[in-house]
Chains A and B, each alone.
Chain A
Amino acid sequence: MGMTMTQKILAAHAGVEKVEVGQLIQVDLDLVLGNDITTPVAVKEFAKMRLKEVFDKKKVAIVPDHFTPNKDIKSAEQCKCIREFAYDMEIENYFEIGEMGIEHGLIPEKGLVVPGDVAIGADSHTCTYGALGAFSTGIGSTDMAAGMATGKCWFKVPGAIKFVLKGKPAEWVSGKDIILHIIGMIGVDGALYKSMEFVGDGLKHLSMDDRFSMANMAIEAGGKNGIFPVDDLTLSYVKEHAQRSYKVYVADEDAVYDEVYEIDLSTLSPTVAFPHLPDNTRKIDEVGEVKIDQVVIGSCTNGRIEDLRVAAKILDGKKVAKGVRVIVFPVTQKVYLQAIEEGLIQTFIKAGVVVSTPTCGPCLGGHMGILAKGERAIATTNRNFVGRMGHPESEVYLASPAVAAASALTGKITNPKDVA
């Protein structure tokens, strides 16, 4: 009986030939990540171990991104705590504002995860790096502390669901629409404990940015990780961003999957998740009349350069609808700069859009665009739980950058093909 791609990476990092579903193993880590919310708790636990240093200064990354630039005194104190820790421990990959970005955009861009790695992060969307053919997953603060101390983490070997993607997506159908479709199909616990392995011919039509946004939302289906095979596109991304050597793992032909789904990408439409769960999805044609007050384009799901390009293409030369607030968050400083160089930021500002420095901001209802009671937003983020972007009686609809930008022009949820 063969192993899945995820199982092979885990076996190699546990130093064993073979692993089986359900087996508990201890693996060597290539990266331990934390942010400004989870790291302070991990720092406290780390202190209990009375260690003078972390296991490897190069393999720990700390990114203050949730409440930064500090939104209030409490968040300033939290950031101070992790900044001091990072300096004391000489953490090489501590990224202060000015050089940072939202962690899951920044880490791949800095080349800190490469194919074949095992990465953990005290943030549930750490699963994003599966796009690179790595095993990466979210863990708790105690795990982060232990990971920083020992360079190891224990795992229960997951089973897997295989998604065979075929055909070419139509215009205006992106990775975000594909993953929303999948979550709608299997439900928010459809992949509990499991790996989601994406394979098939259809992958050649998916850019790295599409794949990042799909792997990012594996957790929204309850998945332990989402993972893509490594192809030429992955390798060119890795060569452009990383200096480290990498290793390509391929699932065995006789690997066992709990379920296999075939998805013909050419049949998918732009898809929107209605409140208050990411699996509450509808095709754009079935959305009906949904008026919106705010549009958020950005986050670790969809704040990359292609996302901004699509949005700018739709907004170019036009004005956002009166009464709608539109906020764009580039995922990193680098993406921000690139957007300036390509003229996208000009397009946004001329259209009446606010452009923010990279931060998690409104994605988790932190700051920079909170909703009032009864307000509605369409967002390219990944969660639409009750109160996620502000007041408990506000609503978040999840969609792609194209749908979000089209909706910005009309003030209601809109099919991009109707405005392009």
Chain B
Amino acid sequence: MWGTRGTIPTPEAENGRYGGNTPCIEVRSSEDDLLILDAGIGLHWLGDELMMNSFGGGEGRGHILVSHTHWGHIQGIPFFLPMLISGNRFSIYGTGGADSFKDLLLEQMASYYCPVPNFFDDNIGALTRIEEIDEREFDIGSTRVTARRVNHVPDVVTLGFRIEDAAGGSLAYIPDVEYLEQEHRDQTLELAAGVDMLIHDAHQTTDEYPARRGRGHSSVQDAIEIARQAQARHLVLFHHHPDRSDSAIDDLLRSCDSVGLRVDAAREGAEYTL
């Protein structure tokens, strides 16, 4: 896990253990295919590590799955060094809803916002293919990816992902979701059914949620209930609120002690084998 924080990077010391980088998760398949879930600022640090192996020599291949285009989920792209190295190849999958996904990513790189070269141009840096997807199943190496719409806020089409490896191991990644109707729960349940790990939005505490209903995020209680219903084996609380300090996240985890389910809070630097 390279980034676990919701909305905006929070570098303050009291967030140091769980981390302040916005969402980015590295997934390696049994065949060593590289899948990257979301492109928050955590992507920069993953990039630094990738530069030490085949990506530094321009021989890397990676797939970036973007849940949606809110800044916290794409802001790492301009600072992802492997994209500046020619020979590397990337595919970026996501949806722009009514807009073009590619145009939205390009807007972030517009010269008045961003002085780095537009490396989506085939003549600069890596060969980058931007693929507009919606609800869809497709294969990346030894993995099968299922993308489904989930309910976040009305202004942005948001995807959740299920990833299953042919050699075993499965996870669901649903970083931003709110359940206002049964249909919204059903969308997640399809993605998360029986997975080894469910990485799920826990932006609000159960107490905070009522006052923030309608803002597009789940409570810890929502995450626990959906994990139980989906019979996920392991729940990882994700997308921590910017004001949630390490000690507040510790407290939150303790409150999950008796739920009869393995629960972790996503922590930068954590590694799991499924």
The finding on whether chains A and B are genuine partners in a shared complex, rather than unrelated, reads no
Instruction: Identify the B interface with A (CB < 8 A).
Output: none
Q: Using a CB–CB distance below 8 Å, which chain A residues touch chain B?
A: none
